[in-house]
Amino acid sequence: MTDNLSRILIAAALCAIGNVVHAQDADVNADRARANFARPVVLAADDVRAFAAPPPGFADAHAGTAQGRVEPFTYQSAVTGTRRTANVWLPPGYDKTHRYPVLYLLHGIGGNQDEWRGYVRANDVLDNLAAAGRIVPMIVVMPNGRALADDRPPPPDRVFTPENAAGFARFEHDLLESLIPAVDAAYPTLADSGHRALGGLSMGGGQALNFGLKHPQAFAWVAGFSPAPNTEDAATLAAEAHQAGGGLKLLYLSCGNRDGLINVAQGVHRQLKAQGVAHVWNVDGYGHDRDSWAENLYHYAQLLFR
Ligand code: FER
């Protein structure tokens, strides 16, 4: 079977079971992903760091530092028809009688709700920032961004498939219509766009840009870290950001200069620049890995809700 024919058949099968498949998602396969990661990095003069490096140990647990609590949170999804699980970080000193802004952090194509905590050690980054008084106290929700009835990370040979990628596109409705209302009902949140941030790494970075800029009524703070090829057309994203105007408090974009996917982020940055949309553009010295994501969480979290 030709590549193209099998792609069409897969897309047709997914449509038949009620999925909406983006054109670019139907194109996902392991060879294409490998080729994307292997693209040569071509840097422009403004592809540089926007911040000083964090202090040593910023992403490590330290004895004597107060820790936030990470707890599982389950909710009923109208998209998948199943109960789904997110991890929620509650800041040190969490007090149910206060109201908190909320950051949603989305994982990559092979991960799940444990990736930000387990691989990036987001909870350690956040604990250290909170102890240093460098973040506004916030609730951080780390969902499973693969909105499929079976949302477990696929085996390695099934990661770069249209079926897996389609779950990430479907998460838009799960996030907006099921997860956010459930979080706002269960926790003492400030439930308006000015107090709700979205961010993600790689596949989750694409989701954050796609969903965040499309829905400015829901998110005033949006970040894509090393966004993947699921990222929407850059000119469309920039036009959405432009249209959001002052409703968009912060748009944050980052990538490592040793990441073969950097052309995706560069494309978005250049369109934002062309359309006069203010944003952070941070190009660090890392690859497609946790070093970049932990550092960018460190920088992004400090800018939120100010
Ligand atoms: C691709 C290469 C990488 C792709 C997605 C990714 C949608 C995602 C990588 C990640 O989440 O780490 O071609 O296609």
Tell which one of 27, 32, 36 to mutate to probe ligand 1, the residue whose CB is within 8 A of the most ligand atoms.
Answer: 36
Is 252:223 a contact under the CB 8 Å cutoff? Answer: yes
- pLDDT at residue 27, as a whole number: 83
Report CA(165)–ligand 1 centroid distance (Å).
Answer: 9
Cβ burial of 17 (10 Å; 0-12, 13-18, 19+) is exposed
| 202 pocket-lining for ligand 1 (C-beta < 6 Å) | yes
Report CA(18)–ligand 1 centroid distance (Å).
Answer: 23
| 228 pocket-lining for ligand 1 (C-beta < 6 Å) | yes
Which residue has the least CA distance to atom 1 on ligand 1?
33
| Ligand 1 nearest-atom number relative to CA 107 | 11
DSSP-derived secondary structure for 222-276? EEEES--TTSPPHHHHHHHHHHHGGG--EEEEEEETT-TTHHHHHHHHHHHHHTT
306 residues of the chain, pLDDT tens digit each: 233 333 333 333 333 333 344 445 568 999 999 999 999 999 999 999 999 999 999 999 999 999 999 999 999 999 999 999 999 999 999 999 999 999 999 999 999 999 999 999 999 999 999 999 999 999 999 999 999 999 999 999 999 999 999 999 999 999 999 999 999 999 999 999 999 999 999 999 999 999 999 999 999 999 999 999 999 999 999 999 999 999 999 999 999 999 999 999 999 999 999 999 999 999 999 999 999 999 999 999 999 999
H helix and E strand count, the chain:
11, 8
CATH classification of the domain holding 224: 3.40.50.1820
| 33 pocket-lining for ligand 1 (C-beta < 6 Å) | yes
> Which helix (H) or strand (E) element contains residue 298?
helix 290-303
- pLDDT at residue 203, as a whole number: 98
Structural domain of residue 291, as residue ranges? 3-303
| 102 pocket-lining for ligand 1 (C-beta < 6 Å) | no
Tell which one of 261, 289, 293 to mutate to probe ligand 1, the residue whose CB is within 8 A of the most ligand atoms.
Answer: 261
- pLDDT at residue 26, as a whole number: 62
Nearest-angstrom CA–CA distance, 195 and 214: 17
Point out which residues pair with 222 in neighbouring strands. Answer: 198, 251
Report CA(21)–ligand 1 centroid distance (Å).
Answer: 15
Q: What is the pLDDT of residues 30-87, one digit of tens each?
A: 999 999 999 999 999 999 999 999 999 999 999 999 999 999 999 999 999 999 999 9
Nearest-angstrom CA–CA distance, 248 and 250: 6
* Domain total in the chain: 1
| 26 pocket-lining for ligand 1 (C-beta < 6 Å) | no
Which residue has the least CA distance to atom 14 on ligand 1?
229
Report CA(237)–ligand 1 centroid distance (Å).
Answer: 18
| 140 pocket-lining for ligand 1 (C-beta < 6 Å) | no
- pLDDT at residue 101, as a whole number: 99
Report CA(98)–ligand 1 centroid distance (Å).
Answer: 39
DSSP-derived secondary structure for 261-287? THHHHHHHHHHHHHTT---EEEEES--
